[in-house]
Chain A
Amino acid sequence: MSRRIERIVVAGAGLAGMRAAERLRELGFTGELVLVGAERHRPYHRPALSKQFLAGDLGPRDLTLSCYADLDATWRLGETVRRLDARRQLVQIGRGKPLRYDGLVIATGVRARRTADAPDDPRVLTLRTIDDATALQRLLRADDRPCVIIGGGFTASELASTLAEQGRDVVLASRSGRLLGALGPEVGHAVARLHEDHGVRTWLDATVQHWVPGDWGIGLHFTNGQFLVAGSVVLAVGGEPDTAWLAGSGADHSDGVLCERTCHVAGVRDVVAAGDVARWPVRPGHPPRRVEHWLNAVEMGRAAARNLLSGRAAAIPFEPLPRFWSEHYGERFQAAGFVGPGQTRMSLEGDVTNGPGVLGYYQRGALVGVVARENPRGILRWTAELDHRLARRGGRHRLPEPLTA
């Protein structure tokens, strides 16, 4: 074996970290590769937790992600990165001695947020990790009282759908006046109606006023006047970037770690970031932001790895066309491009509020994003169209067939 002269540390053994590691090997990196993961599990398919895993269709082993290169990595699972000294290129893992790196990939992701008022009680949990999902599964099996889900985003809504389909009594309570608020009222109404049709009690503009945990369950008094006793409560109120370890490193880590267009972490050498934790100028000319989409972790992990090896001078800007999906009661919602609550919306096909269709999102009169409901062929066409209209360099989502719209 040749002498190893180089070491790349990947902080975070989730999807982005694994895809970065895989890409490093694909590109011929032969040095030492160290993957550090806070969870004790090899990288797994997190999106399935709120759906197939809790539905009982897939078990823990089914979730392990396939890797298409021989990683030959040193796995440090169950350990956390504690400190970064970017100037001396040292990273401290667990309680060990600081480890020198030649390259560092920051992919520590986000951790589930808890609301400040929620009691520290094993029946009040979050849903981010497989251990969280297993704990919830155990609670649900032992108890048929209502499960209360706090939140109005994708995780909250998908979880409500999974549990309702299993015949559970589900309450979905969101402090927002709309579900999936970022997508605008059409999609929000569509999902709210699906919940209603499946017997989920959806309380909007509602927060918990009092928590009353007792032996008999968790009492919750809501601001809308409702009181109920739940067997379990899931806080699905978003995540916080896992960046406390970057304090004093020189990297800007206010809301995720700030990167340049190439995924290089601003202000430090030989460090890139990818996935949920990274904040970068997603669209040229727009302020940097984070993108918590699954597919972004795949694409950014790979781009960051490539640019780490190439160095800043030869790096290629990472300007993806964001894409994501969500499933409720077997209905597929898919999005591409830039969709936000402040945009003008116009139907492109069908009517997403009431059935299959495609909704367009416009900025200054230009189509910049789409959401499709039960229309995967539509999203393929419109993704290609967006690639074309946004004149993306290296746009790779080819037109599969002539546009009909």
Chain B
Amino acid sequence: MSKHRMTVTVDNYRCHRYGVCEAEAPEVFRLTADGRLGYRAQPSLWTREDVLTAARSCPMQAIHVETR
């Protein structure tokens, strides 16, 4: 099974910006100085393990990851 692309979405309604995702995958998620969460919607596949760790660790279970 070859995977070519990963798409990350964060449910803004669920997300309370705890920043656990940034601790797990700083290359993809980042809390900004004004308290918002910035993230790459289509990060490189090499970040996949970290992104999945972030999704699993999210206190609000707000991160959705799709790999095709």
Q: Interface on A for B, CB 8 Å cutoff?
A: 19, 45, 47-48, 52, 58, 65-66, 68, 294-295, 298, 323, 325, 327, 332, 334, 376-377, 379-380, 383-384, 397-398, 400
Contacts and interface: CB of A to CB of B under 8 A. Distances in A.
A323 B20 contact: yes
A194 B24 CA distance: 31
B52 A376 contact: no
17 contacts: A47-B59, A48-B61, A58-B14, A66-B64, A68-B55, A68-B65, A295-B59, A325-B18, A327-B16, A332-B18, A334-B18, A376-B19, A380-B19, A380-B22, A398-B23, A400-B22, A400-B23
Contacts of B57: 295, 298
A152 B64 CA distance: 34
B8 interface: no
Interface of B: 14, 16-20, 22-24, 26, 30-31, 33, 35, 52, 55-57, 59-61, 64-65
A376 B15 CA distance: 13
Contacts of B18: 325, 332, 334, 376
Contacts, number: 53
A397 B65 contact: no
Nearest to A396: B24
A172 B63 CA distance: 33
A377 B52 CA distance: 21
B59 A66 contact: no
A58 B62 CA distance: 12
A379 B18 CA distance: 9
Nearest to B23: A397
Contact of A45 (B24, B33, B61, B64): B61
Contacts of B23: 380, 383-384, 397-398, 400
Given A379-B19, A400-B23, 7 more contacts: A45-B61, A66-B61, A66-B64, A295-B57, A376-B18, A380-B31, A397-B23
A323 B14 CA distance: 20
A325 B30 contact: no
Nearest to A294: B59
A252 B12 CA distance: 45
B26 A68 contact: no
A278 to B, nearest CB: 18
Contacts of A384: 23
A68 B56 contact: yes
A226 B64 CA distance: 48
A45 B20 CA distance: 16
Contact of A332 (B16, B24, B26, B64): B16
A47 B61 CA distance: 10
A252 to B, nearest CB: 30
B12 to A, nearest CB: 13
A198 to B, nearest CB: 18
